Amino acid sequence: MTDRQRRIRHVLWGVLVINLLVAAAKIVYGVYAHSIAIQADALHSAFDGLANVVGLTAMALAAAPPDREHTYGHHRFELLGALGIAALIGATAAGIAWEAVSRIGQPSTAQVEPGGLVLLGALAFVSLGISLYEAKVGRELASPVLAADSKHTLTDFFGTLVVFGAAVGIWLGVTWLDTAAALVVAGIVAVAAIQILRGAIDVFLEAAAVDVGEVERATLSVDGVRSCHKIRSRGSADAVFVDLHIQVDPDETVQVAHDRSGAVKAAIIEAIPGVVDVLVHIEPVE
């Protein structure tokens, strides 16, 4: 396992523990206060923890080295983890919405106390801190799992803010806000699922993974390369594969041209984070 993968695992384990504690606090108070909105938010936090388990499983599978059947490695297991998280988020949204709709028209027995407001506010900012930390590390390590999980945790923050607002309303006697807040939470969660799904689909459809201009600049910085074209890239942020054609002097020996292609590969990998392999096709300049 690489240092990158170990760091991602450590982050996911830490976030898992915190999410479970947050979910437990919300469910206990939600049941105590008879609030569907707080219970829905607790369910959302619990699914945050389950999403961490999915991410950890994906990382364990992605750490396997290339083999005869998987010559490009197992990096896409991490992407499958992101898809699994999107599916969990979607299921969470559907469950919350179903429960909220079933309560419409029924009298609410929700009751909130000042201490509960303090608890919800504190839990909201715990979720915000987790999300910002995951997003930061996810950018540093180019991890789709951490990026997806940070979005999920950020929805927990916004969802808890909505529930906090509803709790204030309930405290003031506006009990119908309990059901309304649960529906809003479901909508926030659904949007997060769609965002993660769109990013994952782009990778599976092999959308360009890096900017062509960056590849050109790195390639043309190598002495002896006269031009380049047919630049293509694919993969996820942490495992990008690039192929391109370069043109060199037709009088160069095979050995010189081969060394030049190696220099191009090294230049691209050094210049563009996440690139793990480059295939260079050599052509004589016309």
Count the helix, strand and coil residues of the chain and give each as a percent rounded to the nearest 5. Answer: 70, 10, 20
Check: pTM over 0.75? Answer yes or no: no
DSSP β-ladder status, 275-284 and 227-236: unpaired
Bridge partners, residue 235, by sequence: 240
Distances (CA, A) of 18 to 22, 24, 46, 52, 114: 6, 10, 10, 11, 24
What does residue 281 show for φ and ψ, rounded to 5 degrees?
-100, 130
pLDDT tens sequence across 78-123:
677 777 777 877 887 887 788 777 767 666 667 788 888 888 889 8
Centroid of chain to Cα 259 = 38
pLDDT at 205: 67
Would you state the pLDDT for residue 242?
93
DSSP β-ladder status, 275-284 and 239-248? parallel
Express each pLDDT in 239-256 by its tens digit: 788 999 999 998 888 899
Which has the higher per-residue pLDDT, 177 or 20? 20
pLDDT band at 262 (very low <50, low <70, confident <90, very high): very high
